[in-house]
Amino acid sequence: MPSDDPEDTEDDLWADSADRKITIRALAEHRAEEHLSSVEHDRRRDLARQARTRGELRALFADLPAPHPLIGEEPAAGGTWIASLARAGNGAGLILSTGAIVVLLALLAGWWVPALIFACLLVVATVFVTVGGR
């Protein structure tokens, strides 16, 4: 008997390459957080590459702690570019973009020396964020 549960029908939909990429990226994050061993990560990554449905991809996270990837879901409108910048390079993307705006505004205001000093501090902070996150 067919189920009226929308999640059941969602799990039966075909997985596309974007769903697989999201899944593989999330598995890598779980590996980095040591929720998965290298061997288990590689096994699940291979299963993600071969998955045919979204349900098969979601099943790869059944025993892992949240957050789980939003497979097949459209991102919420507004603010998604900020969230992606915050995740990029362990936050380095957000630091760089915010810092670039501050430096640009300082240069436009004619504050050359503070802009130069801030740009140098920005580079140092970005290096510490990206290297410290590894």
Residues of the chain with pLDDT under 70: 1-8, 72-94, 129-134
| Domain ranges, ordered by start, for the chain | 6-59, 80-132
pLDDT at residue 127, as a whole number = 75
Neighbouring-strand partners of residue 14: 53
The string of DSSP codes covering 60-119 is: TTTTSPSPPP-TT-PPPSSSHHHHHHHHGGGGHHHHHHHHHHHHHHHHHTT-HHHHHHHH
51-89 pLDDT, tens digit each: 999 899 999 989 988 877 777 665 555 555 555 555 555
Residues pairing with 53 in the sheet: 14
pTM above 0.75, yes or no: no
Q: According to the model, what pLDDT value does residue 33 have?
A: 87
